[in-house]
Amino acid sequence: MKLITEIMEEKALPIVDKIYNDGFIQGLVHANLSKEAVVHYLKADALYLDNFSDIYAMLLAKSNDKVEKNFFLGQINFVLNEEIAAHKNLADYVGEDYHEIIKGGEWYPSADHYIKHMYYNAFAFGMAETLSAMAPCPWIYQMVARKILANHNLAEDHPLKFWIEFYAGVLVDEVLTEYYKIINREAEFMSEEGKAHLVKNFLESCEHERRFFNMAYTQERWDLEV
């Protein structure tokens, strides 16, 4: 009997290929990604990670297990303080100071929709539903980064090699192991409908990941009258 997380990943594989072949990742691989796309991404992603850490804080409060609480605590630190290294690689690539770039950051429709998909599950459902919506964050980046390394022999001085290797690393394996432990444990007590919701959350977030990259690549804006 397949684990629900195995089903999630199998169904999502086609989206990994689409993201890999889309403009943002191809631009990153060939080091010809525009400065505008990188700046747009960094502004939105800084806010995305702040909110991602807030959702982790919600899960920390929901959990009654010290080991889980410490996992979420560690992830809050990682997202707020360690992942910034990958962002700084992108800032160096465009020759700007990272903290200057993200000042007055704003997110645009695709990022807004993605974050609210996670918050909706955090407020309205349980830990498994929330983690199913959060899991594509590490999973998509690891899958895409590993696909780049498998398909390209990056030069030692490739300007974005750090970013690619950061996400391709084993750190993500450890994060997903903890996510999947919780999701599969909770799924054992769920109806078929409840398990389908977990899979749907995961697949929707994979699509949100694709839209997030395309949002930056196309300089997506709100059409609001401001």
Closest distance of CB 41 from ligand HMH, Å: 8
Q: Which stretch binds ligand HMH (CB under 6 A): 6-14, 136-144, 183-191, 194-202?
A: 136-144
* DSSP assigned state of 125: S
Token look-up 């010809």 returns: 32
Closest distance of CB 87 from ligand HMH, Å: 8
Torsion 49-51-55-56 (CA) sign: positive
DSSP 46-106: HHHHHHHHHHHHHHHHH---HHHHHHHHHHHHIIIIITHHHHHHHHHHHTS-HHHHHTT--
Active site residue 10: no
Token look-up 């991404």 returns: 41
Main-chain phi, psi angles of 204, to 5 degrees: -65, -40
Q: Residues 90, 209, 210, 217: which binds ligand HMH (CB under 6 A)?
A: 209
179 counts as binding ligand HMH under rule CB under 6 A: no
122 token code pair: 């955090």
108 counts as binding ligand HMH under rule CB under 6 A: no
212 counts as binding ligand HMH under rule CB under 6 A: yes
141 counts as binding ligand HMH under rule CB under 6 A: yes
137 counts as binding ligand HMH under rule CB under 6 A: yes
Active site residue 137: yes
Q: What are the catalytic residues?
A: 137, 209
List residues binding ligand HMH (CB under 6 A): 45, 48-49, 83, 137-138, 141, 209, 212
